[in-house]
Structure 1
Amino acid sequence: MGRQRHHNGLLSYHPRTNALGLHHLQNKKRLMAQQLSFSYDNPQQKVLSLCIPTYNRAECLREQFKRLMTIQPADLDRMEIIISDNCSTDNTSQVVNEYKEKLDFVYLRNDENIGADRNFLQCFRKATAKYVWLLGDDDYIQTRHLNTLIDHLEKEDYGLVQLSLNCNSKNTFRIYDDQDEFLNKLNVRITYMSSNIDRTEYVRDISLEKYFDTHLVQVPAHLHAALRGKENLIVNLPFYDSGTQTQNNGGYNLFEVFVKNLVKIYDEFEDNGISVNSLILLKNKISDFVFPYFFNHVILKKPCNFKLDNAWEIMKEELGIARIIWSAIKFIFSYKMISHWVKKITKPVYKILAFIISNFFALIWPDKAARLWKKIRTRIISNRFRYQIGHVGKNCNVEGVDFLNGGKNISIGDNFSALKGLRLECVNTPDHTPNLTIGNDVTLNARVHIGVANKIIIGNHVLIGSNVLITDHSHGKNSEEELMSPPRSRTIYSKGPVIIGENVWIGENVCILPGVTIGKGSVIGAGAVVTKDIPPFSIAGGNPARIIK
């Protein structure tokens, strides 16, 4: 059993220790000594305090622990992990006990529910590393770039570090020495708790009590850090899966929080470093952010989880009518809205024209009309498919796509052909960036499903029958612990890449599982389930697939 310490109404676990201690005074003195010796120039100080405030989300916390277990030991040595439990009434404590011997972390449990804002503030207070990162319990951490981040933060001094949601930028680290430019770049993203990492010494002891119950207690902390730092940073790499429990978000008045409260916070910081020009731009960003909600949920009355009381009055008073009108114009004529309405208008027109043209020509030249219409339709679908894929060679013919995800991670060679029902999925995981490579002269029959979390390579001149599944991953590792959780919440795990050599023929209803290599010139019989490597120039069949010849 881990050593337990009681202090300030909290219970903290320190794993990998065996003694049980309940000496309040000794531990209180030890805690005070730690606080007094806190130094930001201490060479033994850790780089990052990862703090996870939680309340009644045991299954989310279990998934978060699974992700934390994938952090490299060298990075764990430079981090401290703090779980701040706001007196959960579910089985959160049980989940913590499952992992306390597997991972070094501090577990703080409040004696009573102190509210979300106070729980956030507690994380700032307890952090002792150079930087502090508050991560939502349902924003599951991605660890593959964590080493790069910690290495950079260890060497550099920033006030605020923003983890960008746009990870397509070529500049991994974008440094800002102009605070106004940095804040304008962040705009409302400064309200995203999991997207911001603060310099601990700038936020650890500041007074945030007056911001309790605003739902934005983290914002003045982030502003304080950004304005005190000589430089700030935006990192264009993925570090977490955002908001897996969005259906549980809401319950507060959206316009009161993101308009009234946020504007008030910005106004208070005008005397502390935010220029008048930046203040105007930040309010413009607020208006641009909330207007789509106003349009969809107040005007069109679409359902949502937020309260919308006095939305117009709050917007008019805090932002002004001129600013709202300008946001409305930008929203209505935005690329997203124009695309939406063009699709909505052209879809029925396309169906009507298709019906008229096909029936007209069918009366005159039945066979020719059918072939011509199929050719036109295939060309339209193929062109659309080409623009959704990272690289496609010459002469691509796709008759129908049921589902496509992660197209930028797919590379296809010349003379690619696929019938209806094609399903290509590239799934990002904490350990891998997916990669699907398809060679030249590859033909896929109807309803082929290829799922990639790691790597799948299909060689040249491969013929694949209908209803074939090729996958390099599964949901979890099938341990007893993971089997107790729902399949959808288990971590995507890849046993290894799938490689299919040249001139391979795969029959109908074949299933090819992770970690398999099929040698060139091989034939896989209909209905086979391939679980092991198939040598070159072999004929295999059965469940599981065996070498027949």
Structure 2
Amino acid sequence: MDSKPYLSICIPTYNRLEILANTLDSIYADLNDVDIEDFEVVISDNQPNHSTKELIDKFNFKNLHYHASKSIGFLNSFDVLKLGNGMFLKLHNNYTMFRKGSLKQMINEIKENSIDRPVIFYTNGLNQFGGIKRFDSYNSFMYGLSYLSSWSSGFGIWKKDFENVCDTIEVNNYFPQTSLLVSQTQKSNYIINDIPIFDNQDIPKKGGYNIFKVFSVDYVSLIEKVHNREEISKETFNKIKKDLLLDYLSVRYFKTVIVRMDNFEKNNIKESIQIHYSAFMYYIMIGTALFAPVKALIRKVKVFFYIKSYN
């Protein structure tokens, strides 16, 4: 490209060729409404055989860039951001499709905020308000965002801000995106965009690691460091912990342990959770897990009405 694009959609990937193809199709379906010079798609493939290369070659777009990577695990999410040339680097899961018209909406939001460069986080209706909220402090932003700060596809960072911290921050092996997010405490403006703009594809038998340990120990420890530095309040820290346990880990417990919908590891769940939670809260989580299908249905209904209100 002769000029820098506004948006880099940075996709770390490992296999999932058909799923990635669907995601790319959803991005390029919007070219009638979007100038191809305004964005780029960057693929970082850390599968040892780099099997994604053949798929990318079938997409004949000048702004689609493929990179073979030796990154280990989730660190590919950090390294793919280094490859982006856009003004705003949007981390994006390979299974997260764009809804029709949402690429244009995202580029317009970046253009509108390119001077002040606030932190922008996309929660896709998961935050349960379906609109856009602005915050003037990191603490209030994190209170509103809660455990969704862990979500890869919600994260984005301005390239200038990324370059300012990428060589100095401590990157968590499981949550590189959150490691970057907690480096942005000095900002004066923050945005949570909760408008549903993505469709997540189902990943059959997703798993391969101990998700309960990763979230209840690694993620909470990462957020605890932010609290210990007094960059978020105790109230915010406790809210994130509670929401994580009762709104996320309880649902994961239902899917992984009760109905066995995935392949996440199930060993030492109680021991992992009790590092940062009491035994009482562990059993509250199990009880809450029984209502996971009802909570999921309520969320889907809300998102449905959010989508209708923006169409």
TM-score (norm 2): 0.81
Matching residue within 166, 169, 172 for 1:211: 172
Matching residue within 8, 11, 30 for 1:71: 30
Q: Tell me by how many angstroms 1:152 deviates.
A: 2.2
Matched, 1:154 2:115: no
CA distance in 1, matches of 2:236, 2:104: 34
Q: Corresponding residue for 2:124?
A: 165
Matched, 1:97 2:54: no
CA distance in 2, matches of 1:168, 1:274: 19
- Work out whether residues 158 and 230 of structure 1, in 8 Å CA contact, stay in contact via their aligned partners in 2: no
Q: Cα–Cα, structure 1 residues 276 and 168, in superposed 2: closer, same or farther, change >3 Å?
A: closer
User: What letter matches 1:211 in structure 2?
Assistant: N
User: What letter matches 1:152 in structure 2?
Assistant: E
Q: Corresponding residue for 2:12?
A: 53
Q: Corresponding residue for 1:480?
A: none
Q: Corresponding residue for 1:145?
A: 102
Q: Deviations over 1:512-532 (max 9, x none)?
A: xxxxxxxxxxxxxxxxxxxxx
Matched, 1:190 2:173: no
CA distance in 2, matches of 1:168, 1:255: 21
| Number of matched pairs | 298
- Work out whether residues 27 and 103 of structure 2, in 8 Å CA contact, stay in contact via their aligned partners in 1: no
Matching residue within 79, 84, 97 for 1:122: 79
Q: Cα–Cα, structure 1 residues 69 and 91, in superposed 2: closer, same or farther, change >3 Å?
A: same
Q: Tell me by how many angstroms 1:262 deviates.
A: 0.7
- Work out whether residues 121 and 208 of structure 1, in 8 Å CA contact, stay in contact via their aligned partners in 2: no
Q: Tell me by how many angstroms 1:311 deviates.
A: 0.7
User: What letter matches 2:40 in structure 1?
Assistant: E
Q: Tell me by how many angstroms 1:223 deviates.
A: 2.5
- Work out whether residues 51 and 132 of structure 1, in 8 Å CA contact, stay in contact via their aligned partners in 2: yes
Matched, 1:250 2:207: yes
Q: Cα–Cα, structure 1 residues 108 and 143, in superposed 2: closer, same or farther, change >3 Å?
A: farther
Matching residue within 210, 219, 234 for 1:276: 234
* Residue identity (%): 17
Q: Cα–Cα, structure 1 residues 248 and 409, in superposed 2: closer, same or farther, change >3 Å?
A: closer
CA distance in 2, matches of 1:193, 1:186: 13
Q: Cα–Cα, structure 1 residues 251 and 217, in superposed 2: closer, same or farther, change >3 Å?
A: same
Q: Tell me by how many angstroms 1:235 deviates.
A: 1.8
- Where does 1:423-438 land on structure 2 (aligned, <5 Å)? none
CA distance in 2, matches of 1:296, 1:68: 30
- 1:224 counterpart SS class: coil
Q: Tell me by how many angstroms 1:94 deviates.
A: 1.6
Q: Corresponding residue for 1:320?
A: 278
Q: Corresponding residue for 2:193?
A: 235
User: What letter matches 1:310 in structure 2?
Assistant: N
Q: Cα–Cα, structure 1 residues 171 and 238, in superposed 2: closer, same or farther, change >3 Å?
A: closer
- 2:58 counterpart SS class: helix
CA distance in 2, matches of 1:86, 1:184: 34
Q: Structure 1: which 5+ runs fail to align?
A: 1-13, 17-43, 341-388, 390-405, 411-431, 434-549
CA distance in 1, matches of 2:169, 2:206: 23
Q: Cα–Cα, structure 1 residues 327 and 85, in superposed 2: closer, same or farther, change >3 Å?
A: closer
- Work out whether residues 159 and 230 of structure 1, in 8 Å CA contact, stay in contact via their aligned partners in 2: yes
Q: Structure 2: which 5+ runs fail to align?
A: none
- Work out whether residues 5 and 85 of structure 2, in 8 Å CA contact, stay in contact via their aligned partners in 1: yes
CA distance in 2, matches of 1:181, 1:272: 13
Q: Cα–Cα, structure 1 residues 198 and 333, in superposed 2: closer, same or farther, change >3 Å?
A: same
Q: Cα–Cα, structure 1 residues 117 and 259, in superposed 2: closer, same or farther, change >3 Å?
A: same
- Work out whether residues 196 and 307 of structure 2, in 8 Å CA contact, stay in contact via their aligned partners in 1: no
Matching residue within 85, 92, 104 for 1:135: 92
CA distance in 2, matches of 1:254, 1:232: 29
Q: Tell me by how many angstroms 1:325 deviates.
A: 5.1
User: What letter matches 2:210 in structure 1?
Assistant: N
CA distance in 2, matches of 1:65, 1:302: 30
- Relative contact order (C-alpha < 8 Å, sep 6+): which is higher? 2
Q: Tell me by how many angstroms 1:51 deviates.
A: 0.7
User: What letter matches 1:155 in structure 2?
Assistant: E
- Work out whether residues 216 and 273 of structure 2, in 8 Å CA contact, stay in contact via their aligned partners in 1: yes
User: What letter matches 2:81 in structure 1?
Assistant: F
Which structure has greater helix proportion?
2
Q: Tell me by how many angstroms 1:143 deviates.
A: 4.2
CA distance in 1, matches of 2:225, 2:213: 17
User: What letter matches 1:96 in structure 2?
Assistant: I
Q: Cα–Cα, structure 1 residues 248 and 171, in superposed 2: closer, same or farther, change >3 Å?
A: closer
Q: Deviations over 1:364-409 (max 9, x none)?
A: xxxxxxxxxxxxxxxxxxxxxxxxx9xxxxxxxxxxxxxxxx7999
Q: Cα–Cα, structure 1 residues 47 and 184, in superposed 2: closer, same or farther, change >3 Å?
A: same
RMSD over aligned Cα atoms? 3.5
- Work out whether residues 19 and 201 of structure 2, in 8 Å CA contact, stay in contact via their aligned partners in 1: no
Matched, 1:265 2:222: yes
User: What letter matches 1:175 in structure 2?
Assistant: R
Q: Cα–Cα, structure 1 residues 243 and 159, in superposed 2: closer, same or farther, change >3 Å?
A: farther
CA distance in 1, matches of 2:126, 2:251: 24
- Work out whether residues 130 and 306 of structure 2, in 8 Å CA contact, stay in contact via their aligned partners in 1: no
